[in-house]
Structure 1
Amino acid sequence: MNDHDRNDRDSLLAAAVALRAEGRREEARQRLLALCAAFPDDAAVAYQTAWAHDVLGLEAEAVPFYERALAGAGLTEEDRRGALLGLGSTYRVLGQYEKAVRTLREGVGQFPGDGALRTFLAMALFNTGAHHEAMRLLLELLASGSTDPSVREYHEAIAHYAQDLHATV
């Protein structure tokens, strides 16, 4: 891609993202679809197109764009995190729980400190019947991140029980 094409792509992408942020979601989606056609190997364009579909409730249509974004190169770290979260969450909404767990585990592996990825993983684990692991993840998040004074008071106990919900001592 030459500099002129890159500048056009950047300005068109920024305009489409701005439309989505302004609530002009369908217009943003249409522009992003056109950008995807013009730049089919562009991971950032694919990610933004996936997101545009997701916010319109078009989850099934978002999946191939998320997959294309994650298969490609050039996503920023934040966009990669967002694409893993978006795809995992979308799989879960579509009832594809095993794919959701795999995708969200990949996300947690790459971004272990991200509470949103761990929360969505817990939900997907719950959907697969892995209730103990789901509860453990949520209790760990609660113990490490709650600002509620009463939860902070029991921080150590919650962290302990997160590791073994069957513990009695």
Structure 2
Amino acid sequence: MDSRLQAAITLRKQGQHDKSRRALQSLAEEPALRAQALLNIAWSYDNEGKERDAEPHYLAALDAGLTGEDQFEAQFGLASTWRCLGKYAQAKTLFEEIMTSWPQATEVRPFYALCLHNLGEHDSAIAVLLASIIQHPDARTEPYKAVLHHYAQHPHQRW
């Protein structure tokens, strides 16, 4: 990794967001560093809870050609940002694309469930959360996998 980019990332992680963004803005002018710099600018804004400022930087980073893990991180950040901004339908679509492209990325599921909840799709949100618990139970929830699976499919069933 470029040492200047690493230094700017370190500043962001230390909470020096403005200073980090200034360094990253200059790096974004260099074609080889553009996508990474834009992604880190987006994260910097996100770290401060400034989703409106983060959004265009996520989009620009993706347009700049991120691939692999960086593409995943940018899409995940953008989907979460859209959810926070109330752009629930856009967020839902992107979360679903992410889960299709990176099915092993279980960290996406709770945020997707929140988005479903925001859209009023409460049963689906519960099903996603229960499925996550079923797929990755701890020792205390392991004995309840079968019943949780049933409840995920039938959350309103009464006896």
Q: Same fold (TM over 0.5)?
A: yes
**For residues 156 and 114 of structure 1, what CA distance do their matches in structure 2 show?**
23
Structure number having the greater helix percentage: 1
- Within 5 Å, which residues of 2 pair with 1:8-157? 10-39=2-31, 42-75=34-67, 77-149=68-140, 151-157=141-147
**For residues 24 and 43 of structure 1, what CA distance do their matches in structure 2 show?**
21
What is the identity, as a one-letter code, of the residue corresponding to 1:65?
A: H
Structure 1: gaps of 5 or more residues? 1-6
Using structure 2 for the length normalisation, give the TM-score.
0.88
Say if 1:58 and 1:153 are closer, same or farther in 2 by CA, change over 3 A.
Answer: same
Say if 1:41 and 1:64 are closer, same or farther in 2 by CA, change over 3 A.
Answer: farther
Say if 1:14 and 1:132 are closer, same or farther in 2 by CA, change over 3 A.
Answer: same
| CA deviation after TM superposition for structure 1 residue 164, in Å | 3.2
What is the identity, as a one-letter code, of the residue corresponding to 2:108?
A: L
What is the identity, as a one-letter code, of the residue corresponding to 1:108?
A: M
Aligned-CA RMSD value: 2.1
What is the identity, as a one-letter code, of the residue corresponding to 1:161?
A: Y
Structure 2: gaps of 5 or more residues? none
Identity rate of aligned residues, in percent? Answer: 33
Corresponding residue number in structure 2 for 1:165:
155
Q: Is the 8 A contact 1:88 1:104 kept in 2?
A: yes
What is the identity, as a one-letter code, of the residue corresponding to 1:27?
A: K
Q: Please, which moves more after superposition, 158-167 or 94-103?
A: 158-167
**For residues 77 and 41 of structure 2, what CA distance do their matches in structure 1 show?**
12
SS at match of 1:115: coil
Deviations 1:58-111 (A, max 9, x none): 211111111122233243x22222111111111111111111111111111111
How many corresponding residue pairs? 159
| CA deviation after TM superposition for structure 1 residue 41, in Å | 8.1
Say if 1:40 and 1:62 are closer, same or farther in 2 by CA, change over 3 A.
Answer: farther
| CA deviation after TM superposition for structure 1 residue 133, in Å | 1.2
**For residues 93 and 33 of structure 1, what CA distance do their matches in structure 2 show?**
25
Q: Runs of 4+ in structure 1 displaced over 6 angstroms? A: none
